[in-house]
């Protein structure tokens, strides 16, 4: 039990895996309860998982064969993203990491590495990027040390501490490539995961004049077939008729004052006529006519063939009274004019 506790206090690397395994076997033979050895068993499981070779772990053999037979860049990136658990919905960081794995795979293909070697190198670079940049930020010397440890585990045959996946020359070739690519742009990769937003810019469109309203469409159902059947339109038409009658009466009065008894220009017997002799007043167009007041006064506007209505009769009477007051006796005034 003391040996097991001593191993637990100092277990931190590959060299302690074998010592921890032996201590657990001794504890089981001594019939130590599982509660006392549970922590040691969990630690041993984690160390074995951490120390095992990375070949064909992230990218299994079947996927490696698909990668080696792929003919397009897009197909290779899709397979790599699927194996590494990446998605374009994760943003530009996933795109950067996909390009990172694509160039690492291309280097392995260029130098003719086999499936196990290519899979191991891609997993080494994936673990290096995850532990140094994605999960936590470490400085460049610590990242170098982690990379050397990972390469040492795969470049010499010393079970259970390491397995020779790469030969010495292949390990040197891969190390040189990583130093020229990943470590040379280490700050750039770190910035992609540690960027921050200092300010935001928003634009607003200010118009000098308000925008034009959108025109409404017309529909056949909006059409009014009979204007006189609408009460509101009847009132509007009646007001228009009264305005036209008032304008016609004023024109008749002015022509009567300026005309002569013998039929001067523009007037004939108190009626306004056109060049062809026809009356051109609004009242005449409505079928009305002018006549002298029965008491010798001015011309009186009478209704013609237009429909009788009480309202129109009152309006015409008011117009007659107004013309009588303002024009007076037209015959007497015309008689005073020189012949």
For the residues 65-69, what does the mean pLDDT come to?
Answer: 92
Q: Which of 66, 67, 94, 64 is nearest to 81 (CA)?
A: 94
Q: How high does pLDDT run on average in the chain?
A: 74
- Whether residue 319 is contained in a domain is answered as yes
Which of 174, 194, 214 marks a domain boundary? 194
Give the confidence band of 228 by pLDDT, cuts at 50, 70, 90: low
Q: What is the pLDDT of residue 65?
A: 92
Q: What is the pLDDT of residue 291?
A: 43
For the residues 264-270, what does the mean pLDDT come to?
Answer: 40
- Whether residue 223 is contained in a domain is answered as no
Q: How far is CA 31 from the centre of its chain?
A: 68
Same domain for 245 and 325, yes or no, is: yes
Same domain for 44 and 78, yes or no, is: no
Same domain for 190 and 66, yes or no, is: yes
Same domain for 42 and 86, yes or no, is: no
Same domain for 11 and 95, yes or no, is: no
Same domain for 45 and 65, yes or no, is: no
Query: Can you list the alpha helix ranges (DSSP code H) found in 60-167?
Result: 61-69, 73-84, 92-110, 115-129, 140-152
Same domain for 186 and 262, yes or no, is: no
The tens digit of pLDDT for each residue in 276-329 reads 444 444 444 444 444 444 444 444 444 444 445 677 788 788 777 777 776 666
- Whether residue 8 is contained in a domain is answered as yes
Domain total of the chain: 3
Same domain for 133 and 173, yes or no, is: yes
The tens digit of pLDDT for each residue in 137-153 reads 789 999 999 999 899 98
Quote the Cα angle for 36-8-18, to 5°: 105
0.75 exceeded by pTM: no
Q: H or E segment at 291?
A: strand 289-292
Give the confidence band of 48 by pLDDT, cuts at 50, 70, 90: low
Q: Which of 54, 58, 165 is nearest to 114 (CA)?
A: 165
- Whether residue 96 is contained in a domain is answered as yes
Length of the chain: 339
- Whether residue 209 is contained in a domain is answered as no
Q: What is the residue whose two structure tokens read 């012949």?
A: 339
Same domain for 172 and 92, yes or no, is: yes
Q: Which of 3, 38, 8 is nearest to 23 (CA)?
A: 3
The tens digit of pLDDT for each residue in 8-39 reads 445 455 556 667 777 777 777 777 777 767 77
- Whether residue 243 is contained in a domain is answered as yes
Range of the domain at 278: 230-335
- Whether residue 302 is contained in a domain is answered as yes
Q: What is the pLDDT of residue 238?
A: 65
Same domain for 47 and 156, yes or no, is: no
Same domain for 188 and 75, yes or no, is: yes
Q: What is the pLDDT of residue 3?
A: 53
Same domain for 38 and 89, yes or no, is: no
Is the model's pLDDT at 115 over the cut of 90? yes
- Whether residue 173 is contained in a domain is answered as yes
- Report whether the peptide linkage leading into residue 160 is cis, meaning its omega lies within 30 degrees of zero: yes
Select the more confidently predicted residue: 263 or 245.
245
Report the range of poorest mean pLDDT among 95-109, 169-183, 304-318.
Answer: 304-318
């Amino acid at each position: 039990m003391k040996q097991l506790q001593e191993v637990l206090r100092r277990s931190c690397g590959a060299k302690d895996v074998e010592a921890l395994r032996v201590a657990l076997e001794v504890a089981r033979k001594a019939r130590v309860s599982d509660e006392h050895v549970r922590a040691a068993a969990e630690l041993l499981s984690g160390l074995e998982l951490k120390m095992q070779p990375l070949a064909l772990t992230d990218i299994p053999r079947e996927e490696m064969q698909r990668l080696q037979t792929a003919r397009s860049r897009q197909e290779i990136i899709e397979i790599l993203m699927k194996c590494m658990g990446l998605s374009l919905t994760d943003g530009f960081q996933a795109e950067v990491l996909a390009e990172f794995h694509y160039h690492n795979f291309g280097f392995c293909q260029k130098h003719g590495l086999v499936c196990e070697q290519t899979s191991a190198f891609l997993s080494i670079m994936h673990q290096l990027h995850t532990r140094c940049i994605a999960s936590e930020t470490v400085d460049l010397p610590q990242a170098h040390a982690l990379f050397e440890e990972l390469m040492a585990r795969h470049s010499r045959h010393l079970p259970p501490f390491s397995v020779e996946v790469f030969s010495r020359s292949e390990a040197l070739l891969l190390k040189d490539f990583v130093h020229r690519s990943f470590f040379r742009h280490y700050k750039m990769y770190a910035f992609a995961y540690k960027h921050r937003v200092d300010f935001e810019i928003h634009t607003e469109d200010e118009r000098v004049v308000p925008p034009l309203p959108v025109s409404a469409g017309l529909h056949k159902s909006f059409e009014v077939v009979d204007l006189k059947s609408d009460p509101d339109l009847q009132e509007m038409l009646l007001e228009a008729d009264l305005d036209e009658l008032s304008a016609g009466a004023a024109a008749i009065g002015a022509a009567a004052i300026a005309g002569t008894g013998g039929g001067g220009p523009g007037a004939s017997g108190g009626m306004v006529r056109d060049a062809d002799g026809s009356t051109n007043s609004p009242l005449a167009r409505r079928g009305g006519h002018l006549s002298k007041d029965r008491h010798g006064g001015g011309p009186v506007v009478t209704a013609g063939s237009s429909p009788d209505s009480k309202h129109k009769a009152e309006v015409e009477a008011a117009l007659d009274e107004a013309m009588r007051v303002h024009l007076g006796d037209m015959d007497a005034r015309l008689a005073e004019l020189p012949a």
